[in-house]
C-alpha cells in the first residue's frame, strides 16, 4: 500500500526527516510531495492554508483517508516495521499523546526559527507518481 507524505520542502527539519524516511523505506510504502507543489496538492483539494496545520499523510488507495500534524507523524511511525509497537506504547502512556501534540504544534509554528529555512525546496528521491502535474490516484 502506498501513502503520500506531504511535507514542507523548505524546512530543514522536515526535509531531514523525509530524507531519513527515504533511506528507511526506499519508496516501498511512502512517496513524497512538498507543500510547495501546489499543482500536485490541488489534486487532493489541499490548500496552502491547510498545509500550515502540519504534514499530511494520504492513503493513495483511499485518498479520503488522511492524517495531519502529529497524527500523521504517528501513523507514519505505525506503518514502519515494528513501529506499531512503539506508537501503541506512546499512545497508551497517560498524558504523552497530549504532550506530543502540543510539542508538535510548537515545533510546526516555529520550525524556521528553530531549524532554519532552505534556499530551495527539497525534491524527494521518491516523488508521488505525478505525470504532467497530475498525480495518479
Q: How many domains does the chain have?
A: 1
pLDDT of residue 135: 52
Q: Is the pLDDT of residue 137 over 70?
A: no
- The whole domain housing 9 covers 3-129
pLDDT of residue 82: 85
Is the pLDDT confidence value at 52 over 90? yes
Provide the pLDDT for residue 1. 87
The pTM for the full model equals 0.90
Examine residue 135 and state whether it is found in any structural domain, yes or no.
Answer: no
Q: Which pLDDT band, with edges at 50, 70 and 90, does 134 fall under?
A: low
Instruction: Quick: pLDDT tens for 66-124.
Output: 999 999 999 999 999 888 888 888 888 999 999 999 999 999 999 999 999 999 999 99
> 136 in a domain, yes or no?
no
Q: How far apart are CA 62 and CA 79, in angstroms?
A: 16
pLDDT digits (tens, 9 = 90+) for 16-46: 999 999 999 999 999 999 999 999 999 999 9
Do the domain assignments include residue 53?
Answer: yes
Span between the terminal Cα atoms of the chain, in Å: 12
Residue 86 lies in a domain: yes
71 domain-assigned: yes
In a domain, 19, yes or no: yes
What residues form DSSP beta bridges with 58? 4, 66
- Predicted pLDDT of residue 132: 42
Query: What does 46-110 look like in DSSP terms, one character per residue?
Result: --HHHHTT--EEEETTSTT-EEETHHHHHHHHHHSTTHHHHHHHHHHSTTHHHHHHHHHHHHHHT
- Grid look-up 504532467 returns 132
* Residue 137 within any structural domain of the chain: no
Amino acid at each position: 500500500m502506498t501513502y503520500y507524505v506531504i511535507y514542507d520542502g523548505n524546512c530543514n527539519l522536515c526535509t531531514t526527516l523525509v530524507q531519513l524516511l527515504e533511506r528507511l523505506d526506499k519508496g516501498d510504502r511512502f512517496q513524497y510531495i512538498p507543500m510547495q507543489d501546489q499543482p500536485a496538492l490541488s489534486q487532493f483539494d489541499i490548500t496552502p492554508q491547510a498545509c500550515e496545520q502540519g504534514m499530511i499523510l494520504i492513503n493513495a488507495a483511499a485518498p479520503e483517508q488522511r492524517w495531519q500534524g502529529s497524527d500523521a507523524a504517528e501513523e507514519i511511525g505505525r506503518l514502519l516495521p515494528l513501529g506499531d509497537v512503539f506508537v501503541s506504547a506512546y499512545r497508551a502512556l497517560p498524558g504523552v499523546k497530549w504532550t506530543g501534540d502540543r510539542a508538535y504544534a510548537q515545533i510546526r509554528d516555529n520550525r524556521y526559527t528553530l531549524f532554519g529555512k532552505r534556499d530551495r525546496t527539497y525534491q524527494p528521491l521518491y516523488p508521488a507518481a505525478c505525470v504532467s502535474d497530475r498525480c495518479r490516484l
